[in-house]
Amino acid sequence: MLHQAIHIQALQDMLGSAERCLVASHVNPDGDAVGASLAWRSYLRAAYPALEVRVAFPNRLPEFLRWIEGAEQALVYADSKEAVESYIKICDLVFCLDLNAIDRLEALGEALADRSIPRVLIDHHLKPAEEFDLVFSDASMSSTSELVYRIALALGGKSLLTKGAAEALYVGLMTDTGSFSFNVNTPETFRMAADLMELGVDKDEVASKIYDSYSEKRMRLLGHCLLNKMRALPKHKAAYISLSRKELDDFGFQPGDTEGFVNMPLSIKKVTLSALFTESQDKTHIRVSLRSKGKDISVNEMARKHFKGGGHFNASGGKYFGSLEDCEAYFENILKTEF
């Protein structure tokens, strides 16, 4: 655990002298990125009333996360560059959540690079980059939301967490653990869930808002993927799905619609490695999502080595620069040569 007393003291010192801070999280924000960032904002506002706190994401939140307290006030760099850039000019502390390198902020990271504002990392991915001034990085944590919760407790205690913040943390915890089916490494994670319930979280309501809010088109896209697009490679205990921009457009793709698709092939008993390839909106690259089952295949290594990405041992992502067909061939070749 890296969040020892000395780190907490350093964080307290930074917060004590800051006037305006920015909380930033990764591109294509997921439940943990949004939950952790909005909960951290809520906590900071309660604990440091004089501190101005703004949250920014590189691009838009998926619809199913927009109900979380504070989501409406969050800035989206792709939509309001000027507002974000003028805030960056006056802010004096930056928190980077749920990412291990600034390049996960994409264009927002470039906007931040223009100024040398102290950066604090709060994250649970493997191998954090050496570009932060204070680092809370713990890959044993279920989620960044759990790490935010532990830091908030160490700083000031539970009483400063509102029901809205507890809901945000619960979203991060639930989504990053597949509803408590993986990444739960200690009983403390369940104790955190219990604490959040005590703070007022209605877990059935939160689960329903996240998982029962898809469009009909998204369900049909999933059906199309499983029926027509999933390619099984039994020799390599692998399967993958690839989706062109046209297919995504035909099914009225909205951000977040493919969330969870990459996990589906892992439900097949003999499949231990799964991939999802989706053509980016501007067709400049292929987004790559990788998942594995068990302790033998590190998709983090695969993402780092072959797809300029990273993440966790069993869940990682990256990019491929080329056509969808070339990406498929490239992936199959990795399987042939390395598995």
CB 331 within 8 A of CB 277: yes
Which of 3, 26, 218, 293 touches ligand 5GP by CB under 6 A?
A: 26
**Stretch (H or E) spanning 191:** helix 187-198
How long, in residues, is the chain? 339
259 contacts Mn ion (rule: CB under 5 A) = no
Alpha-carbon gap, residue 100 to 125, rounded angstroms: 6
CB 29 within 8 A of CB 57: yes
Q: Which one of ligand 5GP, Mn ion, none is in contact with 318 (Cβ closer than 5 to 8 A by kind)?
A: ligand 5GP
List the interface residues with Mn ion, window 167-226 (CB under 5 A): 176
**Stretch (H or E) spanning 290:** strand 286-292
237 contacts ligand 5GP (rule: CB under 6 A) = no
Alpha-carbon gap, residue 104 to 132, rounded angstroms: 14
145 contacts ligand 5GP (rule: CB under 6 A) = no
Alpha-carbon gap, residue 171 to 151, rounded angstroms: 17
Residue whose CB is nearest to Mn ion in the complex, by number = 32
What x/- string results for residues 18 through 57 when contact with Mn ion is judged by CB under 5 A?
--------------x-------------------------
Paired tokens of 158: 């539970």
Q: Which of 123, 154, 152, 155 is nearest to 137 (CA)?
A: 123
Give the residues across from 292 on adjacent strands.
273
Q: Compare residues 29 and 237 and give the one whose CB is closer to Mn ion.
A: 29
Q: Which one of Mn ion, ligand 5GP, none is in contact with 146 (Cβ closer than 5 to 8 A by kind)?
A: none
CB 289 within 8 A of CB 276: yes
Which of 312, 324, 327, 331 touches ligand 5GP by CB under 6 A?
A: 312
Which of 18, 44, 98, 288 touches Mn ion by CB under 5 A?
A: 98
Alpha-carbon gap, residue 38 to 50, rounded angstroms: 18
Residue whose CB is nearest to ligand 5GP in the complex, by number = 317
Using the rule CB under 6 A, give the single segment among 153-161, 230-238, 307-315, 321-329 that binds ligand 5GP.
307-315
Q: Which of 199, 183, 178, 117 is nearest to 147 (CA)?
A: 183
Q: Which of 249, 2, 332 is nearest to 140 (CA)?
A: 2
Q: Compare residues 144 and 300 and give the one whose CB is closer to Mn ion.
A: 144
Which of 81, 236, 305, 319 touches ligand 5GP by CB under 6 A?
A: 319
Q: Alpha helix (H) ranges present in 18-130?
A: 31-47, 81-90, 107-113
177 contacts ligand 5GP (rule: CB under 6 A) = no
Which of 309, 314, 324, 331 touches ligand 5GP by CB under 6 A?
A: 309
List the interface residues with ligand 5GP, window 78-117 (CB under 6 A): 104
Q: Compare residues 256 and 331 and give the one whose CB is closer to Mn ion.
A: 256
Min CB(311)–ligand 5GP separation in Å: 3
Paired tokens of 150: 């532990």
Chain positions contacting ligand 5GP, by CB under 6 A: 26, 104, 125, 262, 289, 309-312, 315-319
Chain positions contacting Mn ion, by CB under 5 A: 32, 98, 144, 176
